[in-house]
């Protein structure tokens, strides 16, 4: 997600001179039950600019309830995928056509789960982040070609052996991990050095629950804080928690963002927050059409609360047309400011 691969390219959507410009976002997700990886484009208000298109079918990604991560490579996007066979795959997509160039290729065969995958959006700290076989959260450096460069390091030493879900901030300076070592799942924020994304200082517990699902974290926001979002499967709610931008310490109390959150099988990979904290994407099962989870868009206020009711982003009309009868999952988004 840079001009060569990771950092967002400056790009605005201005229809007429003098109008307010809206930032553009690419959104990737997986559709289960015989379907593959989809890509769409929206703006910061949730308006769909490019409808979802399948960029890789299920056969090409080897059977998957897949997580996705999006990188930027000039006129192309690079989509990374983790599948049920513990493989990491990658595929180029032409931005103009939103079509993949070739089939996904296997980059590594060392992931532990297909539910955790992320990447940074920082020129100086380009890496992927995923869970490996000992259930630890690691960073893997990548080249401008999207290939792994052979470097890797730990992102959350305190939680090794118990990682259930995790996220990396787009700037590469904070990792957030759901740890299942105790009966109560704990959410740890681990500060990372701005020079090399290596852990420093003590991790901070910033949330807990009996069954914590997805988690994500922003960059430093206009209020000088980061916003961590996480879902509690047992309570069926999504919460937002501000944290100190460097230490990871909690700031204030958690706020309920989604008061009825019922994800099905995709609950470990069903949240994605705008790096600037202006909206949240999440999957939810509304029990109203022929599939399970749909994708919703929730605008957020600067105080970390919901600005309105969630709106359906990828809904029944899309899934029925595609013949999808199971979960939408594996959310990621890339901002092109």
Q: In this structure, is residue 20 part of a structural domain?
A: yes
pLDDT of residue 265: 57
State both tokens at 205.
């517990």
pLDDT of residue 1: 40
pLDDT of residue 3: 36
Any idea what the CATH number is for the domain that residue 272 is in?
Answer: 2.120.10.30
Q: In this structure, is residue 4 part of a structural domain?
A: no
pLDDT of residue 2: 37
Q: In this structure, is residue 6 part of a structural domain?
A: no
Q: What are phi and psi of 321, to 5 degrees?
A: -65, -40
Q: In this structure, is residue 1 part of a structural domain?
A: no
Which distant-in-sequence residues (6+ apart) come within 8 Å of 17 by Cβ?
Answer: none
DSSP assignment of 239-271, as one string? EEEEE-TTT--B-S--EEEES-----TTGGG-E
Can you give the residue range of the structural domain that contains 284?
A: 12-336
Q: In this structure, is residue 250 part of a structural domain?
A: yes
pLDDT of residue 10: 36
State both tokens at 135.
């259930």
Mean pLDDT by 10 residues, the chain (337 residues): 38 44 93 86 97 92 86 89 88 94 85 81 89 90 88 94 92 95 91 96 94 94 97 93 97 96 73 97 84 89 96 90 84 88
Q: In this structure, is residue 260 part of a structural domain?
A: yes
Structural domains of the chain, count: 1
Cα–Cα distance between 57 and 251 in angstroms, integer? 43
pLDDT of residue 337: 61
Q: pTM of the predicted model, to two decimals?
A: 0.91
Cα–Cα distance between 83 and 64 in angstroms, integer? 5
């Amino acid at each position: 997600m840079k001009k060569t691969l990771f950092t967002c390219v400056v790009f605005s959507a201005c229809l007429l001179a003098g109008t307010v410009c809206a930032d553009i976002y690419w959104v990737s997700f997986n559709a289960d039950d015989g379907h593959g990886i989809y890509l769409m484009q929206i703006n910061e208000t949730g308006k769909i600019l490019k409808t979802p298109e399948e960029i890789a079918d299920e056969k090409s990604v080897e059977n998957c309830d897949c997580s996705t991560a999006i990188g930027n490579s000039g006129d192309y996007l690079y989509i990374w995928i983790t599948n049920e066979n513990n493989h990491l795959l990658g595929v180029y997509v032409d931005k103009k056509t939103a079509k993949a160039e070739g089939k996904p290729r296997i980059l590594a065969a060392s992931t532990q789960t297909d539910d955790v995958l992320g990447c940074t959006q920082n020129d100086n700290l380009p890496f992927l982040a995923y869970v490996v076989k000992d259930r630890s959260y690691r960073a893997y450096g990548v080249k401008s070609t999207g290939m792994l460069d052979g470097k890797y390091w730990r992102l959350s030493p305190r939680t090794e052996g118990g990682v259930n879900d995790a996220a990396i901030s787009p700037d590469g300076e904070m990792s957030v991990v759901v740890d299942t070592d105790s009966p109560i799942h704990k959410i740890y924020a681990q500060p990372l050095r701005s020079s090399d994304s290596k852990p420093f200082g003590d991790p901070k517990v910033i949330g807990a629950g009996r069954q914590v699902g997805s988690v994500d974290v922003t960059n430093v926001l206009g209020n000088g804080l980061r916003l961590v979002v996480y879902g509690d499967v047992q309570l069926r709610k999504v919460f937002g928690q501000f944290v100190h931008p460097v230490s990871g310490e909690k700031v204030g109390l958690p706020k309920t963002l989604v008061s009825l959150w019922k994800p099905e099988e995709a609950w470990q990979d069903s949240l994605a927050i705008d790096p600037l904290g202006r909206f949240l994407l999440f999957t939810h099962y509304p029990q109203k059409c022929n599939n399970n989870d749909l994708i919703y868009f929730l605008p957020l206020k600067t105080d970390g609360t919901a600005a309105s009711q969630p709106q359906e982003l990828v809904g029944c009309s899309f899934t029925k047309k595609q013949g999808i009868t199971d979960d939408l999952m594996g959310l990621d988004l890339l901002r092109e400011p």
